[in-house]
Structure 1
């Protein structure tokens, strides 16, 4: 009976090089420093919140891709985990866009000031 070779594509217990993890940790540190710099520079308004959210999403993406091994998973598993989160963000954006219309409709028909 033939032994399965490592060339079959079934590398059980494959480990990634330590350099990859060190590079990811350095990037996480840099992104965290940028996030703290937003507060240190006392940026205000939409610029502040958009930068904080951008750095947060980038850090979460790195953590999911490398430490949860999503970068090496099958596409179906990636879709099963990431697609619901993306859909929630789309629904939140739609609700945010519709909120002004809802408020205007309530003010028009109910006639009260919020």
Structure 2
């Protein structure tokens, strides 16, 4: 009987933690909206939107998905492949620019 009572109790996190995370998510969403409101353009716009998106996703993963309290090996299993994919995407962007430049150089008709 004592075993089942201890098993159902579980770990409880303070409600203040969730309220603070909710406030930060609201602030980051507002900042993301302000990027559009101030009509920022180009690299700055996309950099800020991606930054706010990654920060919000990190907060959600860390607190609401309880990744902050998991074993380090589980965190590595999730974060290392995602980081590798991001590195490969950056490599593909540079390679795509090189391919476009090569095609424009050799396949456009000259004067």
TM norm. shorter chain > 0.5? yes
After TM superposition, give the deviation of residue 105 of structure 1 in Å: 3.2
Selected match of 2:73 from 61, 71, 76: 76
Structure 1 residue 75, shift from structure 2 partner: 0.8
Pair 1:39 & 2:36 matched: yes
Map Cα deviations across residues 71-108 of structure 1 (whole Å, 9 max, x no partner).
11111100111111111111000111111222233445
Match of 2:53 in 1: 56
- The answer on 1:27 being equivalent to 2:44 is no
2:87 is matched with 90
Q: CA deviation at 1:60?
A: 0.2
**How far, CA to CA, are the matches of 2:105 and 2:51 in structure 1?**
37
State the distance in 2 between where 1:42 and 1:101 align.
Answer: 30
For structure 1, the 5+ residue unaligned runs are 7-11
Task: Supply the RMSD in Å over aligned alpha carbons.
Answer: 1.9
Q: Which runs of 5+ in 2 are unaligned?
A: none
Distance 1:100 1:19 in 2: 48
Q: Which has the higher helix share?
A: 2
TM-score by length of 2: 0.84
After superposition, give the CA deviation of every residue in 1:11-41 in whole Å (9 maximum; x if it has no partner).
Answer: x711110000000000000000000011111
